[in-house]
Amino acid sequence: MKDRIDFKQVGALLRKQFEERASAYRKGNFDVFGFLLRWFLIAVFLAVFIVFFGRFTVTYLSVKTGGVTVERTRLYELLAMTYTVILLFLVIGGISQINRRLFDADDIKLLMGMPVGAKTVFVAKLVSIYLGQLVISVACVLAVNVTVAIHTTQPWYFYLVTALFCFILPLISLAISALVAMPYHALKQFLKDKFVLYFILITLATGLLFYLYSIVLGAVRDMLLGDSLKFFFNEQVMNFLQTLTKFLYPAVWLADLLLGQNLLVAGLGLAGVLAVCLTVALLVIRRLMVWVMQARIAGDVHFIHKKSEIKAAKRPFLALMRKDFLHVFRTPAYTFSYFSVAVMMPLMVYFCMTIGSSIVVKLIGMNCDLEIAIFLTLLFGALTNVFCSTNISREGEMFYSVKAFPVDYKQVFFSKVLLCMLVTALSQLISAVLLAAMGYIIWWQAAFLFVGGLLCSFAQICFATRYDFNHAKFSTEEDGEIKESGNTASTIIVLGMLLAFLTGGSVLLLRLLTALRPVVGLGYLTYLIVGILSMMAAALAYYYFIRKLGERYYTFSGGGQL
């Protein structure tokens, strides 16, 4: 029988996926606090983006080339570059979604044994990925175009095309993602059992991304410092951007359509790209998907380790820690979000320190390096420690087995806390040493920074571990990987950032105030505030962590697996 797309089955499959997602919002599973925090974070992110992008738009549109300001040309360049970034963002998301829902999803294995055609499954999956991309696309396109519309006057078709783009952009990104998804999957499979190589590569890639990010931050600094951003966009830079813009396909067509120019070329070009990408992607994925699925059903990669003998006895505590380490290190997503980010955190602190220090010196002419260092260390420390928000959930059903081991609950929990502490301590230590080595702070200040940062990290790790334990959601994936960034992560980010802003922000503010009106004997205020706040945070979080933990451990029957 010929494999045809059965749209009734497509509908049924989409309903299934919708119901699976909706189950997270049912009573008992729904974490209101985490959900609200998550949306709050997204809203804050969008608000910050709109403010900064608005300022950047105003600055960029006023840049002169050849002594003349051509707003329309600048807007064209700006839109082309912005849409390239949005497309890149969507493509990266699309690749991840395709891999997750087509190649790694467990339901595919079941569906392959059912009388559902491969094309039907494929279309249903693509539709669900498209819907996911649509949400992101709407957020991005609206944020950019509304900001542009606020700062420039735009005709009616700008809004019409904006609405159209919300739906077209995910199609383009999906088509491009589909082409790249297969090589990405092959690379992932290749690296799957080469844990060290994967770690090195992903760390280097993260470092590169952070470096690029620091360049963006440099631009932000120049923007904040007023005219210096205009100085940044000198003749040479503008020539480069103009040349670059010519090659930014298909974003230039999108910019053309938005500004109502070269409509025929842009429209045909866009349609052509869409048609070619989708056709090739459909053919390639559909053919290779069967092969990927069969490989999955046949089993995981058979990585033959060297013949080994059983190791000598270790303490159960160390065995539990090693177990957690192996779990994290051998799961690609965790390696990235835990170890690579932790290794790269010092660089991020350093990049931001160079920018922050110069801004403060230029704006108020005083040295607040220690306070900035504290703020940045706590802030990036908080972001790095997000990995501990899955300390319990990532264990999956094995958490019940661990419960049945003859080990004290304290050993179970503290082994996790200590592993996180070791990672974060290393990260904090390198940060402090780097800042001291680069002359921003002196050595004993570095030691103080390290201890203060460590106490705050301890607070965050303790809180995150207990919060995750209280709201555990075990993964249904075979490898136990938590693939959705849950509400717990949002909560940990918000609280970590609050602590960072409260501690770092208050010392920075006080430093500025005392600089304006010096008070005798308040030289140690920074140390006192950081010391007290970090210790209080550590003590409170520890109390939250340990309170009735043994009792809850005994009565634990969560995780959604029972």
User: How many angstroms separate the CA atoms of 348 and 376, rounded?
Assistant: 9
Integer Cα distance of 390 and 480 in angstroms:
11
Secondary structure letter of residue 273 according to DSSP: H
Judged by beta carbon, residue 40 or residue 443, the one nearer another protein is: 443
The reply to whether 299 sits near another protein by the rule CB under 8 A is yes
DSSP 8-class letter at 23: G
Residue number with CB closer to another protein (361 or 398)? 398
Nearer to another protein, 79 or 462 (CB): 462
- Which residues from 216-255 bind another protein, rule CB under 8 A? none
Verify binding: residue 306, another protein, rule CB under 8 A.
yes
Task: Provide the minimum distance between the beta carbon of 418 and another protein in the complex, in angstroms, as a whole number.
Answer: 7
Site for another protein in 415-474 (CB under 8 A): 417-418, 444-445, 447-448, 451-452, 454-455, 458
Q: Site for another protein (CB under 8 A): which residue of 58, 225, 284, 319?
A: 319
Which of 264, 305, 516, 518 forms a contact with another protein (CB under 8 A)?
305
Residue 477 backbone zone (phi > 0: left; psi -120 to 50: alpha; other: beta): beta
Binding to another protein in span 538-557, by CB under 8 A: 538-539, 542, 546, 548, 550-551, 553-557
CB of 382 to another protein, least distance (A): 18
Nearer to another protein, 13 or 456 (CB): 456
CB of residue 25 to another protein, shortest distance in Å: 19
Contact 145, 113 (CB under 8 A): no
Token pair belonging to 246: 């010519």
Identify the residue among 32, 196, 313, 516 touching another protein (CB under 8 A): 313
Could you tell me the smallest distance in angstroms from the CB atom of residue 535 to another protein?
Answer: 6
Stretch 358-397: interaction string toward another protein, x if CB under 8 A? --------------------------------------xx
- Report the nearest approach of another protein to the CB of residue 101 (Å): 20
Around 457, how many Cα atoms within 13 Å sit in the side-chain half-sphere? 30
Q: Does 339 bind another protein (CB under 8 A)?
A: no
When binding is defined by CB under 8 A, the residue of 35, 210, 527, 544 that contacts another protein is 527
Q: Does 531 bind another protein (CB under 8 A)?
A: yes
Residue 536 engages another protein in binding (rule: CB under 8 A): no
Of residues 50 through 109, those in contact with another protein by CB under 8 A are none
Minimum CB separation from another protein for residue 226, in Å?
36
Strand partners, 473: 559
At its nearest, how many Å lie between another protein and the CB of residue 349? 19
Q: Does 188 bind another protein (CB under 8 A)?
A: no
113 binds another protein (CB under 8 A): no
Question: Does residue number 314 form part of the binding site for another protein (CB under 8 A)?
Answer: yes
Among 479, 483, 510, 512, binds another protein (CB under 8 A): 479
408 binds another protein (CB under 8 A): yes
Told to check if 322 binds another protein by CB under 8 A, we report: yes
The least distance separating another protein from the CB of residue 192, rounded to whole angstroms, comes to 9
Q: Which of 35, 400, 501, 544 binds another protein (CB under 8 A)?
A: 400
Q: Encode burial over 481-517: b for 16+ CB neighbours within 10 A, e otherwise.
A: bbeeebbbbbbbbbbbbebbeebbbbbbeebeeeeee
Residue whose C-alpha is closest to residue 170's, from 126, 228, 120, 226: 126
Q: Smaller CB distance to another protein: residue 21 or 547?
A: 547
Cβ atoms of 345 and 440 closer than 8 Å: no
Of 1, 68, 312, 516, the one binding another protein by CB under 8 A: 312
* Contacting range for another protein; rule: CB under 8 A; set: 208-216, 234-242, 247-255, 302-310: 302-310
Residue 316 binds another protein (CB under 8 A): yes
Q: Which stretch binds another protein (CB under 8 A): 50-58, 158-166, 228-236, 301-309?
A: 301-309
- Cα distance between residue 502 and residue 459, in whole Å: 14
Considering only residues 21 to 60 of the shown chain, the ones binding another protein according to CB under 8 A are none
Interface residues for another protein in 193-212 (CB under 8 A)?
193
DSSP string, 434-502: HHHHTTSS-HHHHHHHHHHHHHHHHHHHHHHHHHHHHT-B---STT----S--HHHHHHHHHHHHHHII
**Helix axis angle, 369-384 to 487-500, nearest 10°:** 170
Question: Taking a C-beta distance cutoff of 8 angstroms, is the pair 289, 119 a contact?
Answer: no
Given a contact cutoff of 8 angstroms between Cβ atoms, the answer to whether 69 and 63 are in contact is yes
Q: Does 409 bind another protein (CB under 8 A)?
A: yes
d(CA 356, CA 368): 9
Asked if residue 466 lies in contact with residue 391, where contact means CB atoms within 8 angstroms, the answer is: no
Cβ proximity of 324 and 393 under 8 Å: no
CA 359 to chain centre: 27
Total residues contacting another protein (rule CB under 8 A)?
82
Please check whether residue 394 is in contact with residue 484, taking contact to mean a CB–CB distance below 8 angstroms: no
Residue 507, C-beta contacts closer than 8 angstroms, at least 6 positions apart? 371, 374, 375, 525, 526, 529, 530
Element at 386 (helix H, strand E)? none
User: Which residue lies nearer to another protein by CB, 381 or 480?
Assistant: 480
Sole binder of another protein in the list 406, 439, 516, 517 (CB under 8 A): 406
Element at 387 (helix H, strand E): none
Site for another protein (CB under 8 A): which residue of 1, 19, 27, 303? Answer: 303
- The one among 38, 74, 327, 471 contacting another protein by CB under 8 A: 327
296 neighbors 189 (Cβ within 8 angstroms): no
- Which of 3, 20, 235, 300: binder of another protein (CB under 8 A)? 300
In the list 15, 315, 422, 515, the residue contacting another protein (rule: CB under 8 A) is: 315
Burial of 320 (0-12, 13-18, 19+ CB in 10 A): buried
Residue pair 532/453 in contact by the 8 Å Cβ criterion: no
As given in the structure block, the two tokens for residue 353 are 């320190």
